[in-house]
Amino acid sequence: MSLFKTRKSDAAVTPLDGIDVVLADLDGVVYTGANAIDYAVDSLNKAAAEGVRVGYITNNASRTDVQVAEHLSSFGLKVVPHDVVTSPQAAVKLLAGLVEPGSLILVVGGVGLTSEVEKAGFTVTRQAADEPAAVIQGFAPDVAWKDLAQASFALHRGIPWVATNTDWTIPVEGGIAPGNGTLVSAVHTAVGTLPVVGGKPEKAIFEAAVARFGAEVPLFIGDRLDTDIIGANRAGIRSAHVLTGIDGAKQLLAADTDSRPTFILDDLRGLFEPYPPTELSHDNTVATVGKSVVRLRGTSVEVVKSGDSQVDVIRAGSALIWASGQPIYGLNVAPELYS
């Protein structure tokens, strides 16, 4: 359930008020491709300078925490490997609860995964004929059919199967490409079972981050509703959805109960700005955020006043639609809300 508040009595506080740890997703939040996102680096460094611990969560299983830290440091962020929580780390923790210490594990993936498997004291194989105790699977650009076939052969013995994540897509320099979820699906088709999953949107990676940083009141920042925000909600963590990545206004307006964020931000400067309360009329037909007013009349969602902030229009429209209880496909939504 969303932690988003929608009553006039809410005081205008910043998203960072009361927060002791910020947990940030990477692609779409900190950078896009080779470029840092505007205001992201300065904002995260400012949070750290003001005494908020900053950590990073990534579903990317192809890189080690050392490689991720070096990449983030190249943008000017102050990051060490311990600040980075990866889906392979979360997956290996799950693996450790399923097999004996030191077991032989069939790994489908690259160095980001094999390094964590080995650090945990397991032995790596790539061959089903070695009779591994379990299969662990993560994305790497060079994963091939033969790797998926070996996993399938091994899993037909009924051994445990752990996946780092099940993201259907992955953003790369050339565009959007198939992610680990598509590769997991291929193996699932062959074996008829499903893996346990370490990464977002499952709770394991969030719980690992909370434990590592000793967080009492964390805030997670993401750009995807289906992995970032739903995962934070499952873990009981406040979330900020930033409009610099995959999901924009259209997806927010249509968000179901499980994938609604606590905060909606234009960019990471919003972490430090007073977050305007949402005022809902008694009958939930008018929502006001700042100077923006959105109204529900019958099945039509209309912008009454745009105000001076497009993000306030999105906040008001989202709150109104969410409070209405009506599915988005049954509403006629004004284009000004999402275009």
Active site (catalytic) residues: 25, 27
Helix axes 87-96, 203-213, angle to 10 degrees: 100
Q: Helix (H, G, I), strand (E, B), or coil: what is residue 93? A: helix
For residue 279, list its beta bridge partners.
Answer: 288
Q: Helix (H, G, I), strand (E, B), or coil: what is residue 336? A: helix
Contact 220, 109 (CB under 8 A): no
**What is the C-alpha to C-alpha distance for residues 24 and 26, in angstroms, rounded to an integer?**
6
* CA dist list (Å): 315 to 17, 116, 261, 308, 322: 19, 40, 10, 13, 11
Nearest Cα residue to 32 out of 45, 43, 41, 23: 41
Q: Helix (H, G, I), strand (E, B), or coil: what is residue 271? A: helix
- Other CB atoms within 10 Å distance of the CB of residue 52: 17
Contact 207, 10 (CB under 8 A): no
**What is the C-alpha to C-alpha distance for residues 174 and 226, in angstroms, rounded to an integer?**
23
Instruction: Retrieve residue 300's tokens.
Output: 């039509």
